[in-house]
Amino acid sequence: MAGVKVYTTESCPYCRMVIAFLEKHGVEYETVDVGRDRAAAREMIAVSGQRGVPVTVSGDEVIVGFDVERLQELFGKPVTGGVYDVVIVGAGPAGLTAAVYCARKLMKSVIISENIGGQATWSWSVENYMGFRMITGEDLIRKFEEQVRGLDVSLELDSVQSVRKEGDIFLVRTALGNTYRCRTVILTPGKQPRTLGLPDEDRLMGRGVSVCSTCDGPLFRGRSVAVVGGGNAAVQTAIEMAKIASSVALIVRSTLKCDEIYIDRAKEMGVQILLHSEVLALHGDEVLTGITIRDRETGEETILDVEGLLLEIGLVPNTGFLNGLVALNEQGEIVIDENNHTSVPGVFAAGDATCIKGKQIIIAAGEGAKAALAAHEHLLMEDLSCVPPPMAL
């Protein structure tokens, strides 16, 4: 289908997902970088009402975000296949690494994920991954993805809705109505951004409020913005936005919990740091025009005139789709043992959605490799009719 236009920014992982979907289905398209082209940004806002990317336009159809269901309706084809040795749920560092190790063991594998890279792609810079003094999250994940795509691994852009066992086979059902049958499952669903839970937040999401600063940050060039959060991700975002925005306020609920080096950088860049503060309300009809913040020590309330609000307030596990399949802890994380076994034989897990304490890209990648090796060992034992008992909890 000709005439498809995708409005993007340079570092937007979800834009890359739209493009990957279109290419996978042989759809001709053109891209427009609204982070660099202000006229194109105005055009996108006029067409969609959005101040966030991606926006895909095909004729009279306007698709906001990486809406895999709508893209599938317009351009996709049904998935067919037999029984896989393993279905990997999620395509972050853990899932992509697991795929490499599964391929090396000649396992028939498919990765199912609504995005590639997960929260790793949101990192402005990664300075603690071996082999790279500094690399953006997007560039690192692109290297992961390139390696996977060079192997005999199927990668499907879809969202897993449920996993259940039927006899000796697991059935993995997706949002697009596909069902994948497999002998083992590796869960690497990662986490999703936490939101403020304020009135009007959903209405203004993509209209000034954003949970993906690497996606939408370039749209606020020359504008005033606020960043919410006190960890490394929040302070890094404030530093990067200070390079292009007219002003940046960092709103921290208590005290800063980031590495000391980032505090010095933020101060050097002129970031206004508001400690012991919280966002009470969002203002604006069509788009965000300001926020009310409160000093949690004095109770004093202040209105900040900002056009962008970037949320970096933590993540929650993407485990809701499991519906009791495996044991979870109080934080909703998948409980695993030291060898990545879950409470269900044949189901393994790795990455930030598990109970492993270290939430780092390099740790997730290593855990993904371990999970793949454990799944391979399980298949060997299954073929020998000596499957191990469930993990002791």
CA distance to 4, 82, 104, 354, 363, per residue, from 377 (Å): 46, 21, 13, 20, 21
Q: In whole angstroms, what is the distance from residue 8 CA to residue 30 CA?
A: 10
For the chain, give the percent of residues with pLDDT over 70: 96
pTM: 0.76
- Residue 51 amino acid letter: R
Which residue intervals of 255-390 are DSSP H helices? 260-268, 361-383
Catalytic site residue from 102, 182, 212, 258? 212
Do 378 and 340 touch, CB atoms closer than 8 A? no
Q: Is the dihedral of CA 309, 58, 180, 175 positive or negative?
A: positive
Distance CA 124, CA 345 (A): 38
User: How is 67-95 classified by DSSP, letter by letter?
Assistant: -HHHHHHHH-------EEEEEEE--SHHH
pLDDT at position 187: 98
List the catalytic residue out of 12, 15, 182, 216: 216
Write the pLDDT tens digit of every residue in 100-148. Answer: 999 999 999 999 998 888 877 767 778 888 898 888 888 898 899 999 9
- Side-chain half-sphere exposure of 162, counting CA atoms within 13 A: 9
Backbone angles phi, psi at 173, to 5 degrees: -105, 145
Q: Where are the alpha helices (DSSP H) in 150-231?
A: 201-204, 213-216
- Catalytic residue at 212? yes
Phi, psi of 213 (to 5 degrees): -65, -35
* Domains of the chain in sequence order: 4-75 (3.40.30.10), 83-192+315-383 (3.50.50.60), 201-311 (3.50.50.60)
Q: Show pLDDT as tens, one digit a residue, over the chain (393 residues).
A: 458 999 999 888 888 889 888 888 889 999 999 988 989 999 999 999 988 899 999 998 999 988 888 888 888 776 666 899 999 999 999 999 999 999 999 999 999 998 888 877 767 778 888 898 888 888 898 899 999 988 989 999 899 999 999 999 999 999 988 999 999 999 999 998 899 999 999 999 999 999 988 888 999 999 999 999 999 999 999 999 999 999 999 999 999 999 899 999 999 999 999 999 999 999 999 999 999 999 999 999 999 999 999 999 988 999 999 999 999 999 999 999 999 999 999 999 999 999 999 888 999 999 999 999 999 999 998 877 765 666 655
DSSP code of residue 388: P
Q: Catalytic: 215?
A: yes
> What's the longest Cα–Cα distance across the chain?
69
Classify 274 as helix, strand or coil: strand
Q: Which residue has the tokens 């485990």?
A: 319
The verdict on whether 85 is a catalytic residue reads no
Determine the pLDDT at residue 152.
87
Report the DSSP beta bridge partners of residue 278: 294
Confidence at residue 364, expressed as pLDDT on a 0 to 100 scale: 95
Rg over alpha carbons for the chain, rounded to the nearest Å, is: 22
Amino acid at 220: F
Please, what's the b/e burial string for 297-310 (b: 16 or more CB within 10 A of its CB; e: otherwise)? Answer: eeeeeeebebbbbb
CA gap 156, 11 in Å, rounded? 22
How far is 214 from 9, CA to CA, in rounded Å?
Answer: 8
Q: Which of 12, 102, 215, 258 is catalytic?
A: 215
SS3 96: helix
What are 44-91's pLDDT values in tens digits?
Answer: 999 999 888 999 999 989 999 888 888 888 887 766 668 999 999 999
